[in-house]
C-alpha cells in the first residue's frame, strides 16, 4: 500500500481560490479562509445581480423615454400603446438610445404616432 499525500492537490485548490479573490481588500485577498467566505458571497451576488441588471436598465430606458415623451406632450404609456397600434417595433433600449443621441428622429417618431389613421 502506498500512502497518498494530499498536500499538492490541497495547495492547488487553495491557490486557485485565491486567484479568484485577486483585488479583494484586506486579508480577503491572501488568507484562504477569509477569501473562501468572501467568494461565496461575491459569486452569489454576481449571480443575483446579473438578473437585477436587466431590470435596472429597463427602468432607466423607460425613464429616458418618458422624459422625452412628456416634452412632446405625451405620456409614456400612451406612447408605447400607440407604437404598438402603428406596428412600430422598436424596443425600449433602441428608443432610449434614439432619445439621447438623435432627438430629431425621436420627434419624427412622435409625429408619426400622432397622425390619425387614413380611412
pLDDT in tens, 34-85: 999 999 999 999 999 999 999 999 999 999 999 999 999 999 999 999 999 9
* 70 assigned to some structural domain: yes
Q: What residue numbers bound the domain in which 28 lies? A: 9-114
pLDDT at res. 115: 87
Q: What is the mean pLDDT of the chain?
A: 94
**Contact (CB, 8 A) for 107 and 72:** yes
* 53 assigned to some structural domain: yes
pLDDT average, residue stretch 16-23: 97
pLDDT at res. 45: 98
Quick one: pLDDT band at residue 116, thresholds 50, 70, 90?
confident
pLDDT at res. 117: 67
Rounded Cα distance, 32 and 13, in Å: 10
pLDDT at res. 119: 43
CATH number at residue 99: 1.10.1900.20
Amino acid at each position: 500500500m502506498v500512502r497518498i499525500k494530499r498536500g499538492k492537490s490541497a495547495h492547488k485548490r487553495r491557490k486557485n481560490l485565491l486567484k479568484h479573490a485577486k483585488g479583494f481588500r484586506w486579508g480577503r485577498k491572501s488568507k484562504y479562509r477569509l477569501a473562501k467566505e468572501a467568494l461565496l458571497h461575491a459569486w452569489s451576488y454576481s449571480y443575483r445581480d446579473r438578473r437585477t441588471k436587466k431590470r435596472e436598465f429597463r427602468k432607466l430606458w423607460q425613464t429616458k423615454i418618458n422624459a422625452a415623451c412628456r416634452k412632446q406632450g405625451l405620456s409614456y404609456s400612451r406612447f408605447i400603446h400607440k407604437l404598438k397600434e402603428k406596428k412600430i417595433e422598436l424596443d425600449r433600449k433602441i428608443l432610449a438610445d434614439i432619445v439621447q443621441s438623435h432627438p430629431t428622429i425621436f420627434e419624427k417618431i412622435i409625429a408619426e404616432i400622432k397622425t390619425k389613421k387614413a380611412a
